Every structure is written in C-alpha cells, then in structure tokens.
Amino acid sequence: MNALPYVAILRARFALMLQYRAAAFAGFVTQCWWGVIKIMVFAAFYAASPHQTMSLAQAITYTWLGQGLLGLLPWNADPEISEAVETGNVAYERLRPVDTHSLWLARAIAARAGTTVLRVVPMFVAAAMLLPAVGLAQWSWRLPPSTTAAALFAVSITLTLLLSAAFVVLLNIGVTALKTRRAANVAAVLVNPLSGMIVPLALMPAWSQTFLFWQPFAGLVDIPYRIYFANLTGASAFAGIAAQTLWIVLFIAIGRAWMNRVMSRVDMQGS
C-alpha cells in the first residue's frame, strides 16, 4: 500500500491544527489551573496516607504530564465527520480513492498530535522549567530518571497516539452507524476513569490492578506515564507496551470490519 495519500492528509491537518493558537492558549491556562488543584488534592491525600505504589513526586509529574498531554485523549469523534454524518454528507468520503479507515486514522492522528504539540510545549516550560526556577522544584514536572525510561516513554507515547486515533475512528464509525454525534458521548465516560486521567490507576485497589492494566484505556495515560518516571520498568514496561500494541491492533481490526458493514448500509435519501 502506497502511503502517500494518508501522509498528505496527515500533514495538511497537522499544519491546520497548529493555526489554532487562541484555543491552545485558553487550553493552556485552564490546564495550569486544573494541574494546581489536582496537585493540592494529591498533597492532601499523600499527607494522610503516604505509602502508595507511586510517590508524591511521581504523582506530581504524572499530573503535569497529564495536563500537557491532555490533547492525546480521544474524548470525541472527529467533529467534521460528525457534522458530515448529521448532514448526510458522510458517504461523500467514499468518493476518494483511498481506504476510508486509513484516511480517518490519518486525520485522527493529525488532530491529536496537532492539539498536543501546541499545549505540551508551554506546559513543559511552565511546569518543568519555571517552577524550579522560582524555588518550587518540589512541585515541578521532573525529567525521566534514566535514558532507558526516556526511550521507552518515547515508544509508549507514540503508541498512545495511535491507540487514541484508532479509538477516535471507532467513535467516528459509531457516529456514522447511529447517525448522531451523541453516539460518541460514551467516550468520555470510558476514557476519563479508565485511562487514569482522574485518579492514577496505580492508586486504585490492589484487586483491580490486573484488570486495569490490561483494559484498553490504560494505554492512554497510565502506562506511558508510569514508564516515564520508571514506575514501570523492565518486563512490566514491555508488558505495558505489549498491551498498547494489542489494543491498537484490535481497535483497527474491529474498526475495519465495522466500517465495511456500516458503509454498505449508509443511505442518503434526498440529499
């Protein structure tokens, strides 16, 4: 398969996302605010029960990472595709001589990456550089403890991008199948608690850990972040990367089969 069309779409959309500076700035301010609140909650929590599988310093880095990489989370279907579904235009996507699933995946990767790049840089400057500079190093975003951790994180966060995009495509197809963008509302309900964005999964009860580790959404936040500060190392880090890979493959396989079914049923009467 020649990837040129998909790369072209990805490039164009990525460039487009970089133009939304005002939205990125507003997002940055909100995320700083939420970061501060979350860190205060953690400080209170750790003061009451200090012995956790993750240290307070790790939880703080976890929070800043999460605020910086919030754009990677698949909270919603592609807004343009949702719009096309509701106006009946979605079948026109089929006029392009490309594989629709790969096309939507490329769009989703570009959207997630574009949103994230704009937000993670100022967040890193603020939380990892400015905070220590003003004597608040204790509350700052720390760098990975080793180059191994950094390298594994680079792999894992790339998989996060793919996993998130593959899930967005599933949401797109769900929206197409049910003909309403509200079909994608299920995403936030699943993603927020199960990714570890609200509470780090490592702080959940011990009996739930195996399930939480292997369910698909851990790969969005929990796994890459714990690899970052070497809370997951060696075999556990590789297990995490394996879990991410497994779910990417499954999401894409399910998406492709579902897409074929849904697209053969799409009707556009009168439009």
Partner 1 sequence: MAQITVENLGKIYRVAARDPGIAGAFRGLFRRRYREIVALDHVSFSLEKGELLGFIGPNGAGKSTTIKILSGILRPTSGRCEVGGLVPWQSRIAHVARIGVVFGQRTQLWWDLPIAESFDLLRDIYRVDPKRYALTRDRLVDMLKIAGVLDTPMRQLSLGQRMRCEIAAALLHTPSILFLDEPTIGLDAVSKLALRDFVKELNRNEGVTVLLTTHDMHDIEALARRVIIIGNGRVLRDSSFESMRAEVLGERRLIVDYAGDDGAVAVDGASVRAQDGRTVEYAFDPAKVAAHTLIARVATAREVADIRVEDPKIEEVIARFYALHGAA
Min. distance of Cβ 98 from partner 1 in angstroms? 6
Question: For partner 1, which is the closer residue by CB, 22 or 189?
Answer: 22
**129 binds partner 1, rule: CB under 8 A:** no
**89 binds partner 1, rule: CB under 8 A:** yes
Residue pair 78/69 in contact by the 8 Å Cβ criterion: no
Long-range contacts made by residues 148-151, C-beta under 8 angstroms, separation at least 24?
148/233, 149/227, 149/228, 149/229, 149/230, 149/233, 150/228
Question: For partner 1, which is the closer residue by CB, 87 or 158?
Answer: 87
The DSSP code sequence of 97-123 is SS-HHHHHHHHHHHHHHHHHHHHHHHH
Candidate segments 5-13, 56-64, 220-228, 231-239, binder of partner 1 by CB under 8 A: 5-13
CA distances from 99 to 7, 38, 106, 204, 259 (A): 13, 42, 11, 41, 10
**47 binds partner 1, rule: CB under 8 A:** no
Residue pair 159/248 in contact by the 8 Å Cβ criterion: yes
Min. distance of Cβ 16 from partner 1 in angstroms? 6
29, 40, 96, 249: residue in contact with partner 1 (rule CB under 8 A): 96
Residue reference for tokens 């310093």:
57
Min. distance of Cβ 258 from partner 1 in angstroms? 17
What's the rounded Cα separation, in Å, for the pair 146 and 72?
24
44, 95, 189, 206: residue in contact with partner 1 (rule CB under 8 A): 95
8, 29, 40, 125: residue in contact with partner 1 (rule CB under 8 A): 8
**183 binds partner 1, rule: CB under 8 A:** no
Provide the H-helix boundaries in the chain: 4-17, 21-48, 56-68, 79-87, 100-124, 131-133, 147-178, 186-195, 209-214, 222-228, 234-265
Question: For partner 1, which is the closer residue by CB, 2 or 49?
Answer: 2
Min. distance of Cβ 118 from partner 1 in angstroms? 16
**1 binds partner 1, rule: CB under 8 A:** no
Binding site for partner 1 (CB under 8 A): 2, 4-5, 7-9, 12, 16, 89, 91-92, 94-99, 264, 266-270
